[in-house]
């Protein structure tokens, strides 16, 4: 399944917000491209920086990340689903 | 094609769709997009976990989603509330109870669930899993692996962390901002405020928005705040709760912000209660799940702080403040509130006292139910019924009371409670839980417990052990019980022990001793007007007379059992005695009477919702119908029995159906179907460790060998062991006979010396359709070794199934005689 199809199957719709918090690399570009292909508004947060406040304040429904700090921050946010980079395939 | 009755549907239609979801207590506000998304996810995903802190609205959202999916799951949408359960051992049991799956011998409930859900397109909603999350993770993984069309939605504070789980984090409600003044949080607050009778003024809305933001959109916090709007304006509430957050001293400072927000709101709401309401709220935390006024009055009231006559009003006050839920005359606390109230009970040092009181009250209530529902020698079912209902409603409280008895070392009250509560459960076939109670309680220090109470409980434990086929354990415990009970006068409990002792003699083949024993029990129970135990003694005597071929005597005892059962008045007894009478009629060759009695018994079991026994009786009717050549009736009945066995998860029941279906196929000249059904029945019985009567099977196989030849018969037998038993049953029910040559798998021309001597031996045994265990027993090796040999044979010969090996072995003359 492409990243686009994966995100769609998880309920992402055009105009939704997605947070991507991944280190630079193929996963990052696959995630961003997939979300844009669905028509989502993407916020890229550089992994490793202080992302907590951004994540808590975000109106995103989905976050793509493997970072423990980001996932912890998502618990106090409005993010419904966290997708790990392992789930991104066929990019 | 065989004649099939047009009048009867082959598979009983089970309602349209079914569910056990409660009606929504008030309006569901917001979350439309989330409900929609979750519905979509449940089409693709088999396991969706709704995660989030207490009070965030997981349960309400899950119920909403599940409710909207009722039409899409033909086999039902089933809510299992796990918040009441603290013991991981009970999780499978709870699911089984909701689905109507009954205990089968000592088998784990999971086995029955697999039978029930194997082909079912159903959605299970497991609510509040956090207390038993590890057990849930194991069970869910096993259920999903064994039941391909099953979907599971669950709510928990902590994810299961198993492969295939989609974790969906439940967020708070949307908050208002300048562009969205009517956000979800505002809508919920105003809806609940209106329900509380408050008219919010236009000028209040800025304050409402401020309050919603302060409460972080947490639904429970919003509900608690809205319930106070009759006394306080939104502005006042917002100010006061704001102070709270600064002053919050209890709870974990490192806990997530929304958890602290919620706790602060609950504390605030609690502190606004009157002194008496506060006392009542914390004491309500001792109850397991739902409770009624009577129970609250008996457990929570006292002279000093909480007069009994005020309890009803105080309960109403707590409901008004949204701290307590009222639900059809009964009440319950949300998990979050119950935890909070439980902490207060400990803080006020009332914990031990009220747990003791709860144990005492529940014990006495159950004792009254037992006396009037079960022990009374003569009473109609109308009179007895309400005590069984009452006792059923107390099961959750019995569990926590027994747990407390174990924890606090109160062996006397614990045993008294376990004795009566387990007896009420046992009448309806629930044995396992009582055994567990006795085993834990009897390990306590028993010095203060009168020996006759211990003996009563040992007798009841022995009853459970016998029902679970633990004959050695039963014999030991029965001896201990009788040693003490010999000294005391007759009682219902002593009668139970005596009957268990007799059944042990019967089951171990000591027929003469058993007969003398039961004759004595009949005399004693008659003398002491113990109709309960006299029914059982007469029934056992009828069986004994039948075994000895004394059919007239058997008839007399069965008739006597029925007469006493009617006098006693419990329909379960009447049904058991009636089915005994039917069996005797069958032995005597009076098929007319047998059918009448079996049908009568089945009707009563149906009324009692005992579908296991109902199935057993109807299978017998089908068997008689076949003997009389009435295949249409037999088909109808067997289809019904198959559905009953499946829905109750009974593999032995399914084996019974298949045995009779084998007869049907046989008389309809479908010898291949007959072999298939017999093989499937034997495989099921072996799986359950049941002995297999081989007489009729040998006849079927002999005829099959004549007609089909050795190889095809062996192949068919092996297929019967491997195919899904339900598929085989449907094949015969539909009259879809397999015509022409069997689909024989290609058998490669392999010279068999490539197999070792042991492998050849095992290949030979496979032609007899033996299971791995049976082969292991025959060769005195372990089943694991057998499995390894079989894997090697498949590898060497390039086969994929045991049937191929069997056929190959027959063709190479390896079949052992």
Query: Is A81's Cβ below 8 Å from some Cβ in B?
Result: yes
pLDDT computed for residue B739 by the predictor = 57
CB of B75 closer than 8 Å to CB of B43: no
Q: What is the CATH number of the domain that holds A11?
A: 3.40.50.980
Q: Identify the closest residue of chain A to B37 by CA–CA distance.
A: A11
Which residues of chain B from 247 to 266 reach within 8 Å of chain A, CB to CB?
A: 256-258
pLDDT computed for residue B564 by the predictor = 95
Residue A78 belongs to what domain range? 3-87
Segments in B52-118 forming alpha helices (H): 58-68, 91-99, 109-117
Which of A10, A11, A80 faces B169 most closely, judged by CB atoms?
A: A80
Which of B40, B169, B258 faces A11 most closely, judged by CB atoms?
A: B40
Overall number of domains in chain A:
1
Helix (H) or strand (E) holding B278: helix B275-283
List, for residues B754-799, the tens digit of each pLDDT value.
Answer: 788 888 888 888 887 777 888 888 888 887 788 888 888 877 777 7
- CATH architecture designation of domain B610-740: Alpha Horseshoe (1.25)
Segments in B147-203 forming alpha helices (H): 184-195
Phi and psi of B508, rounded to 5°? -100, 15
pLDDT computed for residue B812 by the predictor = 77
- Interchain pair A76, B258: CB under 8 A: yes
CB of B114 closer than 8 Å to CB of B147: yes
- Interchain pair B169, A79: CB under 8 A: yes
Contacts of A68 (CB under 8 A, 6+ apart): none
> Start-end ranges of CATH 3.40.50.300 in chain B?
32-169
Secondary-structure class of domain B745-817 per CATH: mainly alpha
List, for residues A8-39, the tens digit of each pLDDT value.
Answer: 999 999 999 999 999 989 999 999 999 999 99
Distance CA B540, CA B752 (A): 55
List, for residues B482-532, the tens digit of each pLDDT value.
Answer: 999 999 999 999 999 999 999 999 988 899 999 999 999 999 999 999 999
Question: Cβ contacts (< 8 Å) between A82 and chain B: which residues?
Answer: 167, 169
Average pLDDT for residues B595-603, to the nearest whole number? 95
**Burial class, B528, CB count within 10 angstroms (exposed 0-12 / middle 13-18 / buried 19+):** middle
Fold (CATH) for B378-599: 1.25.40
Query: Is B40's Cβ below 8 Å from some Cβ in A?
Result: yes
Distance CA B731, CA B15 (A): 24
Question: Cβ contacts (< 8 Å) between A40 and chain B: which residues?
Answer: none
Q: Best residue in A5, A59, A76 to probe B by mutation, most B CBs within 10 Å?
A: A76
Sign of CA dihedral B238, B239, B245, B251: negative
What CATH number labels B32-169? 3.40.50.300
Higher pLDDT, B547 or A47: B547
Contacts of B314 (CB under 8 A, 6+ apart): B276, B277, B280, B306
Given a cut of 80, whether residue B748 has pLDDT beyond it is no
pTM over 0.90: no
pLDDT computed for residue B815 by the predictor = 65
Query: Is A54's Cβ below 8 Å from some Cβ in B?
Result: no
Q: Identify the closest residue of chain A to B261 by CA–CA distance.
A: A76
> Start-end ranges of CATH 1.25.40.10 in chain B?
378-599
The neighbouring-strand residues paired with B81 are B127
What CATH number labels B275-349? 1.10.10.10
ipTM: 0.94
Question: Cβ contacts (< 8 Å) between A74 and chain B: which residues?
Answer: 169
> Start-end ranges of CATH 1.10.10.10 in chain B?
275-349, 745-817
Contacts of B336 (CB under 8 A, 6+ apart): B54, B55, B220, B262, B266
Which residues of chain B from 362 to 391 reach within 8 Å of chain A, CB to CB?
A: none
List, for residues B88-138, the tens digit of each pLDDT value.
Answer: 989 999 999 999 898 887 677 888 999 999 889 999 999 999 999 999 999
- Give residue B5's pLDDT band: very low, low, confident or very high (50, 70, 90): very low
């Amino acid at each position: 399944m492409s990243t686009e199809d994966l995100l769609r199957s998880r309920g992402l719709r055009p105009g939704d917000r997605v947070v991507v918090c991944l280190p630079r690399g193929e996963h990052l570009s696959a995630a961003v491209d997939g979300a844009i292909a669905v028509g989502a508004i993407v916020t890229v947060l550089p992994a490793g920086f202080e992302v907590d406040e951004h994540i808590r304040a975000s109106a995103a429904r989905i976050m793509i990340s493997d970072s423990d700090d980001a996932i912890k921050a998502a618990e106090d946010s409005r993010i419904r689903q966290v997708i790990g980079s392992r789930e991104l395939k066929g990019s | 094609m065989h004649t099939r009755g047009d009048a009867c549907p082959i598979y009983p239609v089970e309602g349209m769709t079914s569910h056990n979801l409660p009606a929504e207590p008030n309006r569901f506000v917001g979350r439309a997009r989330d409900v929609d998304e979750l519905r979509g996810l449940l089409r693709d995903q088999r396991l969706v976990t709704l995660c989030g802190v207490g009070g965030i609205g997981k349960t309400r959202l899950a119920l909403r989603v599940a409710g909207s999916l009722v039409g899409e799951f033909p086999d039902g949408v089933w809510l299992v509330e796990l918040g009441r359960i603290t013991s991981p051992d009970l999780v499978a049991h709870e699911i089984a109870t909701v689905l109507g799956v009954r205990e089968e011998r000592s088998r784990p409930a999971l086995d029955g669930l697999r039978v029930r859900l194997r082909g079912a397109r159903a959605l299970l909603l497991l609510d509040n899993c956090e207390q038993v999350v590890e057990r849930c993770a194991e069970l869910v993984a096993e259920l999903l692996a064994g039941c391909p069309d099953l979907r599971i939605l669950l709510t928990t504070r902590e994810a299961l962390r198993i492969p295939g789980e989609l974790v969906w984090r439940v967020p708070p409600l949307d908050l208002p901002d300048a562009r969205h003044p009517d956000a979800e949080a505002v809508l919920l607050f105003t809806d609940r405020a209106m329900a509380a009778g408050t008219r919010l003024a236009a000028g209040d809305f800025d304050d409402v928005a401020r309050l919603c933001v302060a409460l972080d959109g947490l639904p429970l916090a919003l509900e608690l705040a809205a319930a106070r709007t009759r006394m306080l304006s939104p502005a006042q509430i917002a100010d006061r709760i704001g102070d709270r957050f600064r002053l919050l001293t209890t709870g974990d400072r490192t806990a997530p912000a929304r958890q602290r927000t919620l706790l602060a709101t609950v504390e605030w709401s609690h502190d606004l209660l009157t002194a008496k309401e506060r006392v009542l709220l914390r004491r309500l935390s001792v109850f397991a799940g739902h409770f009624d006024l009577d129970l609250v009055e008996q457990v929570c009231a006292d002279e000093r702080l909480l007069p009994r006559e005020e309890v009803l009003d105080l309960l109403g006050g707590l409901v008004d403040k949204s701290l307590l839920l009222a639900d059809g005359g009964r009440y319950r606390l949300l998990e979050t509130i119950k935890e909070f109230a439980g902490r207060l009970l400990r803080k006020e040092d009332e914990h031990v006292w009220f747990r003791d009181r709860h144990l005492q009250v529940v014990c006495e209530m159950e004792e009254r139910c037992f006396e009037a529902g079960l022990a009374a020698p003569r009473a109609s079912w109308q009179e007895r019924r309400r005590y069984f209902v009452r006792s059923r409603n107390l099961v959750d409280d019995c569990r926590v009371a027994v747990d407390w008895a174990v924890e606090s070392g109160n062996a006397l009250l614990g045993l008294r409670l376990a004795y009566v509560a387990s007896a009420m459960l046992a009448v309806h076939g629930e044995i396992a839980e009582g055994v567990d109670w006795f085993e834990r309680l009897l390990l306590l220090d028993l010095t203060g417990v009168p020996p006759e109470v211990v003996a009563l409980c040992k007798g009841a434990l022995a009853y459970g052990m016998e029902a679970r086929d633990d004959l050695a354990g039963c014999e030991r415990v029965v001896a201990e019980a009788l040693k003490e009970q010999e000294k005391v006068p007759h009682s219902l409990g002593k009668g139970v022990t005596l009957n268990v002792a007799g059944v042990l003699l019967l089951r171990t083949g000591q027929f003469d001793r058993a007969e003398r024993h039961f004759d004595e029990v009949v005399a004693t129970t008659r003398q002491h007007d113990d109709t309960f135990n006299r029914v059982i003694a007469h029934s056992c005597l009828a069986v004994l007379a039948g075994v000895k071929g004394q059919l007239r005597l058997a008839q007399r005892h069965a008739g006597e059992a029925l007469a006493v059962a009617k006098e006693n008045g419990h329909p379960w007894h009447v049904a058991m005695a009636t089915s005994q009478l039917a069996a005797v009629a069958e032995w005597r060759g009076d098929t007319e009477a047998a059918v009448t009695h079996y049908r009568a018994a089945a009707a009563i079991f149906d009324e009692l919702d005992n579908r296991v026994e109902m199935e057993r009786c109807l299978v017998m009717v089908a068997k008689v119908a076949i003997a009389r050549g009435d295949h249409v009736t037999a088909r109808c009945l067997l289809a019904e029995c198959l559905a009953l066995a499946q829905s109750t998860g009974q593999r032995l029941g399914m084996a019974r159906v298949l045995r009779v279906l084998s007869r049907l196929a046989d008389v309809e000249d479908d010898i291949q179907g007959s072999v298939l059904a017999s093989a499937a029945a034997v495989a099921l019985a072996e799986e359950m460790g049941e002995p297999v009567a081989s007489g009729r099977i040998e006849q079927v196989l002999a005829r099959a060998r004549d007609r089909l030849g050795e190889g095809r018969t062996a192949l068919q037998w092996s297929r019967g062991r491997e195919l899904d038993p339900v598929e085989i049953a449907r094949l015969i029910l539909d009259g879809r006979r397999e015509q022409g040559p069997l689909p024989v798998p290609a058998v490669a021309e392999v010279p068999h010396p490539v197999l070792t001597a042991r492998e050849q031996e095992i290949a030979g045994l496979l032609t007899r359709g033996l299971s791995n265990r049976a082969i292991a027993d025959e060769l005195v090796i372990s089943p694991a070794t057998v499995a390894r040999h079989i894997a090697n044979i498949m590898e060497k010969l390039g086969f994929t199934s045991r049937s191929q090996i069997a056929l190959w072995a027959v063709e190479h003359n390896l079949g052992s005689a």
